[in-house]
Amino acid sequence: MAAVSGAPVAPPPSVSDDAGAGLVAQIEQAQPMPLHGALRCAPGELLALVGPSGAGKSSWLRVLAGLMRPARGRVQVGGEVWLDTASGTWVPPQRRHVGLVFQHYALMPHLSAQDNVALALLEQPSAARAAQALQWLRRVGLDEAHARRRPAALSGGQQQRVALARALARQPRLLLLDEPFSAVDQLQRQSLYALLAELRQQLHIPIVLVTHDLSEARQLADTLAVMDRGEILQQGAPQRLYRAPRNARVADVVGVQNRFAGRWEGPADAPGTGWLQWLSAPADAGGQGVARLRVPDKGRIPAGQPVTWVIQRDGLTLTREPVAGDAMLPACARLPVQVCDVRHLGDLSLLVLALRDAPAVQVRLTLSGAARQQWSVGDAGLLQLDCAWVHVMPTRLRPV
């Protein structure tokens, strides 16, 4: 982050903290592109919209900003209704007090950084605009020298700081970030992450971030909203979505790698548990039984139902041999495996394990520290699954 030089400056303008109930939005639309679902974002919370290209993430932002009017819907921010198609309510974009930051900065190339920020303050006298613009630039880590430069003389990260200062200078009640970090290099991106984390401590407004980067979403967001084909599939805390995705598509979008086929056999002998038959592939594709697992049961899946199941890496342990005196817990399964690939990813290593009795079934495990140095391709080991981490999802039957 750039250092702030010179004499102490006055405190920067404050952002309104009367966001009240935050953001509540519900949209229903079939054309020109489908949009369906509901979003909630509390004041001071950062919500990340994640999904593949074409999922409708930026279209949701345009609806929230008032740049697109949906067929049916309602948008409320801080207790104020901005859109309600049922009653005919429509607040235009210029009256919504939305701060919007784009991927490619959208700065005026012929204006200095200070003058770009001052564009958000046109209702004020010229001297006040200049002073407040400089305060906002200082707040995002830029000094007077940066303020005098045009965008072409600033790095990508510095330009994005200018764009963020301009958005905040609008005194927004809602901050929308449309892939704001994807055009900068990794070093500047980490610096911008730190800046956003710092600003969030001071801004009591809802923040909505669109990103393709799952690592970025996990690092920055309080909640994720998983999207596909314009639909909000699931919203919740990142750890909740990774451990218990609503369906296989959510698991794919959030990057759950250990996803397998199975068949639900019904209640087990212990209360709150059921029997899951792990299959090497879906039954209709010739999948064979791999292991019978006793897993948590919420009583919602009928016996015989094809299922997809996932397990987080927290529920996986790899050892070379059983530990002396370690009787396997009833909620665990231990299977012989062979390491078929090792990929070193900085401080982490990703191991790909093939089950000895079903080599086509592969499990991915991340290791850190000294433990990751102990494994090479071809090594044999024992994989222990803590079945308490297994999450089972019904599989939709294909129409006949």
The pLDDT tens digits for 243-271 are 999 998 999 899 898 999 999 999 998 88
Indicate whether 376 pLDDT > 80: yes
The torsion angle over the Cα atoms of residues 97, 232, 209 and 132, rounded to 10 degrees, is: 0
Stretch(es) of the chain classified as CATH 2.40.50.140: 314-385
The pLDDT tens digits for 182-223 are 878 888 888 899 999 888 888 889 999 999 888 899 989 999
The pLDDT tens digits for 351-369 are 999 999 999 999 999 998 8
Greater model confidence, 281 or 2: 281
- Tell me, what's the pLDDT at 285? 83
- Tell me, what's the pLDDT at 126? 86
Q: What is the mean pLDDT of the chain?
A: 87
User: CATH number of the domain at 314-385, please?
Assistant: 2.40.50.140
The pLDDT tens digits for 294-335 are 999 988 899 999 999 999 988 999 998 765 444 444 568 899
Fold of 23-251: Rossmann fold (3.40.50)
- Tell me, what's the pLDDT at 11? 39
Residues in the chain: 400
Task: Return all residues near 283 (Cβ < 8 A) that are at least 6 apart.
Answer: 261, 263, 306
pTM for this structure?
Answer: 0.84
Instruction: Report residue 9's pLDDT band, with 50, 70 and 90 as the boundaries.
Output: very low
The pLDDT tens digits for 74-92 are 999 988 999 999 999 999 9
Stretch(es) of the chain classified as CATH 3.40.50.300: 23-251
